[in-house]
Amino acid sequence: MATTPAPAQDRSVVRTLLRLWPYVRPVRARLFTAAFVAILASCTGLVIPLVLKWIVDGPVADRDPAGVWLGALYLLLLGFAEALLFGLRRWLVARPLSHVEASMRAALYRHLQRLPVSFHDRWASGQLLSRGTTDLSLLRMFLAFPLTFLLVNGVTILVGVVIMLLQDWTLGLVILGPALPLMVTCVVFEKRYAEAARRAQDQVGDLTTVVEESVLGIRIIKGFGRHRSQARAFRELSRKLRGTELRKARLLATIWGVIVTLPEVAIGAALVVGVVQVADGGLSAGTLVAFLSTALALRWPVESIGFLLAMTQEAATATERYFEVMDEKVEEASTTPGGGPAPVQDKGLRFDGVTFRYPDAPPGTPPVLRDIDLHIRPGESMALVGATGSGKTTLTALIPRLYEVTSGRITLDGVDITALSREALRAKVAVAFEEPTLFSASVGDNVLMGAGDTAGPAELERALAVAQADFAHALPQGTDTQVGEQGLSLSGGQRQRLALARAVVGQPEFLVLDDPLSALDVHTEAAVEAALRQVLADTTALIVAHRPSTVLLADRVALLFGGRIAAVGTHQELLRTNAEYAHLMSGAQPGEEPGEQEDAR
Neighbours of 30 (CB within 10 A): 17
- What does the pLDDT read at residue 323? 93
pLDDT digits (tens, 9 = 90+) for 287-323: 888 888 888 888 888 878 777 888 888 888 889 999 9
- What does the pLDDT read at residue 587? 59
Residue at 237 is within a domain: yes
CA distance 594 to 585: 8
pLDDT digits (tens, 9 = 90+) for 455-464: 778 888 888 8
The mean per-residue pLDDT over the stretch 183-196 comes to 82
Residue at 1 is within a domain: no
CA distance 323 to 436: 32
CA distance 538 to 119: 35
302 and 433 share one domain: no
40 and 135 share one domain: yes
Angle at CA 530, nearest 5°, toward 525 and 532?
90
Element (H, E) at 407: strand 407-412
436 or 342, greater pLDDT: 436
The mean per-residue pLDDT over the stretch 63-87 comes to 83
| C-alpha distances out from residue 94 to 98, 152, 315, 326, 487, Å | 6, 18, 18, 25, 38
- What does the pLDDT read at residue 355? 93
Query: What CATH number corresponds to the domain at position 516?
Result: 3.40.50.300
252 and 133 share one domain: yes
- What does the pLDDT read at residue 374? 92
Share of the chain above pLDDT 90, in %: 9
CA distance 252 to 451: 55
Domain that holds residue 515: 376-410+417-569
Alpha helix positions (H), 115-178: 117-122, 125-132, 134-144, 146-167, 169-176
321 and 381 share one domain: no
Angle at CA 188, nearest 5°, toward 183 and 191?
125
- List the one residue out of 82, 83, 61, 60 whose CA is nearest residue 72: 60
Angle at CA 544, nearest 5°, toward 541 and 548?
105
- What does the pLDDT read at residue 2? 43
Residues 6+ apart with CB under 8 A from 228: none
Provide the 8-state DSSP code for 555: S
383 and 322 share one domain: no
Specify which of 95-104, 289-298, 568-577 reaches the highest per-range mean pLDDT: 568-577
The mean per-residue pLDDT over the stretch 353-382 comes to 89
- What does the pLDDT read at residue 131? 87
Taken as a whole, the chain contains a residue count of 601
pLDDT digits (tens, 9 = 90+) for 239-261: 998 998 898 888 888 887 888 88
pLDDT above 50 for 8: no
380 and 321 share one domain: no
pLDDT band at 176 (very low <50, low <70, confident <90, very high): confident
Three-class secondary structure of residue 562 per DSSP: coil
pLDDT above 50 for 138: yes
380 and 275 share one domain: no
The mean per-residue pLDDT over the stretch 489-518 comes to 82
- What does the pLDDT read at residue 454? 67
pLDDT above 50 for 51: yes
- List the one residue out of 267, 286, 330, 233 whose CA is nearest residue 60: 286
| Contact call for residues 462 and 505 (beta carbons, < 8 A) | yes
Residue at 435 is within a domain: yes
- What does the pLDDT read at residue 6? 45
Question: Sheet containing 369-376: which strands, arranged edge to edge?
Answer: 369-376, 349-356, 407-412, 415-416
| Contact call for residues 405 and 396 (beta carbons, < 8 A) | no
pLDDT band at 593 (very low <50, low <70, confident <90, very high): very low
CA distance 329 to 116: 8
87 and 21 share one domain: yes
- What does the pLDDT read at residue 519? 64
Residue at 592 is within a domain: no
| Contact call for residues 308 and 255 (beta carbons, < 8 A) | no
Residue at 360 is within a domain: no
246 and 101 share one domain: yes
pLDDT above 90 for 352: yes
pLDDT above 80 for 29: yes
Residue at 168 is within a domain: yes
pLDDT digits (tens, 9 = 90+) for 368-405: 999 999 999 998 999 999 888 888 888 998 998 888 89
Q: Single out the residue in 326, 342, 360 at which a domain terminates.
A: 326
Residues 6+ apart with CB under 8 A from 84: none
Average pLDDT, the chain: 81
pLDDT above 70 for 224: no
390 and 304 share one domain: no
Cross-strand pairs, 415: 412
314 and 390 share one domain: no
308 and 393 share one domain: no
| Contact call for residues 396 and 570 (beta carbons, < 8 A) | no
| Contact call for residues 557 and 382 (beta carbons, < 8 A) | yes
- What does the pLDDT read at residue 333? 57
The mean per-residue pLDDT over the stretch 483-506 comes to 78
pLDDT band at 350 (very low <50, low <70, confident <90, very high): very high
Q: Single out the residue in 326, 347, 366 at which a domain terminates.
A: 326
- What does the pLDDT read at residue 338? 44
| C-alpha distances out from residue 405 to 46, 339, 416, 429, Å | 68, 17, 12, 17
pTM here is: 0.72
Residue at 138 is within a domain: yes
Q: By mean pLDDT, which of 331-345, 413-427, 543-557 is the weakest?
A: 331-345
- What does the pLDDT read at residue 7? 43
- What does the pLDDT read at residue 557? 92
| Contact call for residues 501 and 479 (beta carbons, < 8 A) | no
pLDDT above 50 for 26: yes
- What does the pLDDT read at residue 457? 82
Element (H, E) at 538: none
Residue type, 400: P
Query: What CATH number corresponds to the domain at position 134?
Result: 1.20.1560.10
| Contact call for residues 4 and 122 (beta carbons, < 8 A) | no
Residue at 595 is within a domain: no
What is the number of domains present in the chain? Answer: 2
